[in-house]
Chains A and B, each alone.
Chain A
Amino acid sequence: MNFQDIESGIIELIRKAETELPKDVVKALEAAYKIEVGVAKTQIEAILENIKLAKESSRPMCQDTGIQTFFVEIGIDFPAIKKLKKIITEGVKKATKEIPLRPNTVDPFTQENHKDNTGFHVPYITWDFSEGSDVKIISFPKGGGSENMSKLGMLKPGVGIEGVKDFVIQEMIKAAGNPCPPTVVGVGIGGGADLSLKLGKKALLRPVGVRNKDKTIAEMEEELIKRINKSGIGPMGLGGKTTVLDVHIEKAHRHPASLPVGIAVQCWADRRAHMIIHSDGTWEVK
């Protein structure tokens, strides 16, 4: 197996995520452009123009190329599992120079920038296992401005789902223009503190416009989209109809005493790209 070649695949994966927005997001932004007027319209126009320019010139669409985040699903029969972490990490280092990416990993104690987008626990990789021999990797570079608007609510179970809705809406109104709206909001309900936040983030991997399969949750997603957009915060917080492009909700069973709600926020640059590595080392990025 050619590990050098898989490493170049990782660079292509990151390049795809940083320079080309998924079609579902572009479609949602184009729909927003149609309904907005005035200043809000100029913002969406600049966003769409920027997306086009970044794709054509193969440049990162946003200077905040994010914390390099990956969700990996390993087919248990893949023959080189133990090499994967090193391949991804080396790929990130090379991508930083080649694409290039902004060096975004800072030591919280010394404030020193590691300069290659790696460091303690970074790249941040979530590992999962499945049947088969393919490895599936999602690249999900996460910007700081939207990440700063993340929220954890340890609500009292007595407030119920209505309380959860109010919490999410209040927090998104408080976030206002800070996370670069129109955003995609991921909400994890239940589990424990960490699990609810993780579910919120994983919910962001779902394409924009795709509803949860559970009918009750799907209805709640639609209600939250309507209610948050009614706030009028609008693109970049300058006023308008589109504050969120979508709201995605996932659930986990909760402890009887707890109702954790984890909110993960993604800016309009909802960057995602997919890679499959086959058991013989060949790969595809899409």
Chain B
Amino acid sequence: MEYHLALPLKDDVIKKFKVGDIIFLSGTIFTARDEAHHTMLHTEKIPFDPSNMGLYHCGPLMKKTNKGWDVISAGPTTSSRMEIFEEEFLKRFNVKIIIGKGGMGERTQKALEKYICVYTSYTGGAGALAADKIMNVKDVYWYDKLGMPEAVWIFEVKEYGPLVVAMDAHGNSIYKK
């Protein structure tokens, strides 16, 4: 199946997704790599609401301009590095969709089922292509502390995809085939 959807996504929509489905996503997403996961989990009050957004494993290449920030290249980073954080992260922040590459482990697979979330894969390294689907940079958090790749960037995306449903909310994984 191919879906064209706008965030936020409800649980009953997430449950419909099956491994191999294709999604084109519009709405607000936030980037988080290792340091951002760690920082968010150790911060009492987060300055934005992650539950309405997609979680993007990404450390973008940005350029500062007079008007703000431009996205130069922004493909996904290796998701397996976030395995040590993701179960707790989903529990606390109630994220419904993850975008990454390479897949995740058993703990995340179980957490996807428990907290009703889906893991999708975008083509690794396709940074220029991905950047062109990001319409707007809404905000950035922890930039000074974490630096460009590790900061949390809030992006507005349009028809972002094709995202391949790689791990669904029913315990199935494309990587196990």
Contacts and interface: CB of A to CB of B under 8 A. Distances in A.
Contacts of B174: 39, 238-239
B54 interface: no
Interface stretch (A159-167, A172-180, A219-227): A172-180
A104 B35 CA distance: 14
Contacts of A61: 73, 125-128
Task: State which size class the interface on A falls in.
Answer: 35 or more
B102 A59 contact: no
A144 to B, nearest CB: 8
Interface stretch (A45-53, A71-79, A84-92, A122-130): A45-53
Contacts of B78: 144-145, 148, 178
B128 A236 contact: no
Interface stretch (B6-14, B56-64, B84-92): B56-64
A242 interface: no
Contacts of A103: 147-149
Contacts of B121: 177, 236-238
Contacts of B177: 239
A177 B102 contact: yes
A113 interface: yes
Interface residues of B, number: 39
Interface string A104-123: 10100001110100000000
A101 interface: yes
A186 B102 CA distance: 20
Contacts of B123: 42-43, 46-47, 50, 235-236
A54 interface: yes
Given A47-B126, A178-B78, A100 B147 contact: no
Contacts of A53: 128-129, 132
Nearest to B132: A53
A102 B149 contact: yes
Nearest to A103: B148
A28 to B, nearest CB: 15
Contacts of A2: none
Per DSSP, chain A at the interface is: loop
A97 to B, nearest CB: 9
B80 A65 contact: no
A35 B101 CA distance: 22
A190 interface: no
B157 interface: no
Given A50-B123, A63-B73, A236 B147 contact: no
B103 A46 contact: no
B63 A62 contact: no
Contact of A145 (B35, B124, B147, B150): B124
B74 interface: yes
A50 B125 contact: yes
A47 B162 CA distance: 12
A62 B147 contact: no
B162 A59 contact: no
Contact of B102 (A65, A102, A144, A237): A237
Interface in A232-286: 235-239, 267-269
Contacts of B146: 113
A238 B164 contact: yes
A57 interface: yes
A64 interface: yes
A110 B123 CA distance: 32
B127 A50 contact: yes
Contact of A46 (B20, B59, B60, B129): B129
Contact of B128 (A60, A106, A144): A60
Contacts of A239: 174, 177
Given A103-B148, A236-B123, A236-B124, 5 more contacts: A65-B73, A111-B35, A115-B147, A176-B102, A180-B125
Interface of A: 39, 42-43, 46-47, 49-50, 53-54, 57, 59-65, 100-104, 106, 111-113, 115, 143-145, 148, 176-178, 180, 235-239, 267-269
20 contacts: A42-B123, A46-B162, A47-B123, A50-B125, A50-B127, A53-B132, A54-B73, A59-B72, A61-B126, A63-B59, A63-B61, A102-B61, A104-B149, A111-B35, A113-B147, A178-B102, A236-B124, A237-B102, A238-B121, A268-B125
